Amino acid sequence: MKAHLNFFPRAFRLGLLWKLFTVFLLAGLAGALVIGAYFRWVFNPAYHSNSPAVQNLNQYADYLLKDMGEPPIPEKAKPLAQKLSLGIRISDSKSDWATDDGVPSWIDIESKSHFRHHATASDRGPVLVGRYQRFPFAIFERNGRKVFIMARVRTPMEDGSGFPIEAGVFLLVGLLLVFFGLFWSVRRMLRPLVVLNDAVHQAGQGQLGIRVPVTGQDEIGRLGNSFNEMSLNLKRTLESRDQLLRDVSHELRTPLTRIRLATELLKSGSERDSIQEDLRELDTLIGRVLDYSKFDASKAQSPVIVQSDDAVREALKSFSATEKAKVQLKVTSVSFTFQGEVFWLARALRNVIENALKFSPEDRAVELEVFSEGGQVVFRIVDQGEGISAEDQKKIFDPFFRSEPSRSKKIDGIGLGLSLTKRVIETGGGKIQIQSEKGQGTQVRIDFPKA
């Protein structure tokens, strides 16, 4: 079954719009069949013995027999039957007469007719109605004679007039109106879900506090209200967290300044150098916390065109000569689009390069390659370090997460660099991916839309 489903386009197999459209269409067809069967049953005279239709059949038979003569006069009966497209057979105990050879015999009528129903019509005797092959017929009893009248109904294709164009146009226009009307109705019903899906995607990209319009009080409307409330609460929570980080970082700067001044009064020596080194490390960590809290991913930014070599140059600017020497560059100058300030782009690239240098052996270089691929500009940073386990890769972009090797006291950091990098890149319209295996190094790939 799954193999057969693969022949259908993905949108038809997975789209809720098409699923609902199909369900409504099938329901409409089923309803039409039921209603059609109901009206066929209600209005079919064959089901109603004393209906006016049956009485009119008897009256019509009387007029017809009178016009043909009694007994039937062939010179009058045959032209009349041909004119009215009727097949007539009249039989009694002494004779059996038919208008032409195409009228079925009584044996064929008995064995090959369908939907035969008896209908008793007041004072004119019983009537038997049914269908022989595809032609409707009626059987009457008149003065001891059995009369069979069959209407030779012919389709336009059979009588040579061809298919009626007006009917075809009416059918086509009607079906198209039903199809597009149903499609428009279902699409209108699902429009709030499409808007909500876009809002969820934007919230996942860091645009917190986003709201969706709510136009009804049904289940979809209540879902929209719940999303708006959740989005607002999430924004407030993250803003409170960032504000706490800023406050704590600023408060720590004051005692750090005092400690730094106090160390200046100490005599030169290893103890003083160690304290100053710890102070520098702590000052760097506080700076990173402030950077993380200052970046506002929810703030809309205008797109700018950036040259790839300029971005790399800006990212490497703060590295020492020794660190720059360990970075092997293979940069193609390509322009790409970034939504935000170039300062944050350079900070994001610097975080990735800094991590690669930090976890690479002293005698191994870090590769930084920039190239164009399809409609994307790709930054690829590769190191020869210990690699990252599959479990740690799932959490590598979480704030304050540090993989097992990075928890060593020899490696500084508090786990905010890659988290900030991901926020900057995705807010800027790009995407970041990490590929790594234990013992085989790590590759970071960053894509931005080509300008």
The strand ranges marked E within 277-415 are: 303-307, 327-331, 335-339, 366-373, 376-383
How large is the C-alpha radius of gyration of the chain? 44
Find the angle CA(299)-CA(287)-CA(245) to the nearest 5 degrees: 60
- Region 303-449: CATH code: 3.30.565.10
How does the average pLDDT of the chain come out, rounded? 78
d(CA 332, CA 311): 12
Task: Check residues 389 and 414 and name the one with the higher pLDDT.
Answer: 389
Predicted local distance difference test score (pLDDT) of residue 79? 86
Secondary structure, 3-state, 167-234: HHHHHHHHHHHHHHHHHHHHHHHHHHHHHHHHHHHHHHCCCCCCCCCCCCCCHHHHHHHHHHHHHHHH
Model confidence at 418, pLDDT cuts 50, 70, 90, reads confident
Q: Is the pLDDT of residue 312 over 70?
A: yes
Could you state, in order of their start, the residue ranges of all structural domains in the chain? 44-151, 219-294, 303-449
More confident site: 113 or 403: 113
Most confident of 10-14, 279-283, 316-320, 404-408: 316-320
Pick the closest to residue 331 from 384, 383, 385, 377 (CA basis).
Answer: 377
Half-sphere exposure of 213 (CA within 13 A, CB side): 5
d(CA 282, CA 293) in angstroms, rounded, equals 17
412: pLDDT confidence band, cut at 50, 70 and 90? low
> With 70 as the cut, is the pLDDT of residue 1 above it?
no
Q: Is 29 exposed, middle or buried (0-12, 13-18, 19+ CB in 10 A)?
A: exposed
> Is 65 or 384 the better-scoring residue by pLDDT?
384
DSSP state letter for 105: P
Query: Do 88 and 147 form a contact (C-beta atoms < 8 A)?
Result: yes
pLDDT of residue 11: 45
- Name the β-bridge partners of 147: 90, 140
The pLDDT score that the predictor gives to residue 405 is 53
Q: Which of 72-86, 204-218, 347-361 has the lowest mean pLDDT?
A: 204-218
Sheet with 96-98, side-by-side order of all strands: 96-98, 86-91, 145-151, 135-142, 126-132, 113-120
Q: What average pLDDT does this structure show over 249-260? A: 72
Q: How confident is the model at residue 366 (pLDDT cuts 50, 70, 90)?
A: very high
pLDDT of residue 46: 46
% pLDDT > 90, the chain: 15
Does residue 7 sit in helix, strand or coil? coil
Give the tens place of pLDDT for each residue, 347-361. Answer: 899 999 998 998 888
For residues 397-415, average pLDDT = 62
With cut-offs at 50, 70 and 90, classify the pLDDT of residue 119. Answer: low
CATH 3.30.565.10 fits 219-294, yes or no: no
**Residue 5, pLDDT above cutoff 50:** no
Q: Residues near 378 by Cβ (< 8 Å), separated by ≥ 6?
A: 369, 370, 371, 372, 445, 446, 447
With 50 as the cut, is the pLDDT of residue 75 above it? yes
pLDDT over 90 at 448, yes or no: yes
User: Which residues fall within 8 angstroms of residue 82, CB to CB, at 6 or more apart?
Assistant: 99
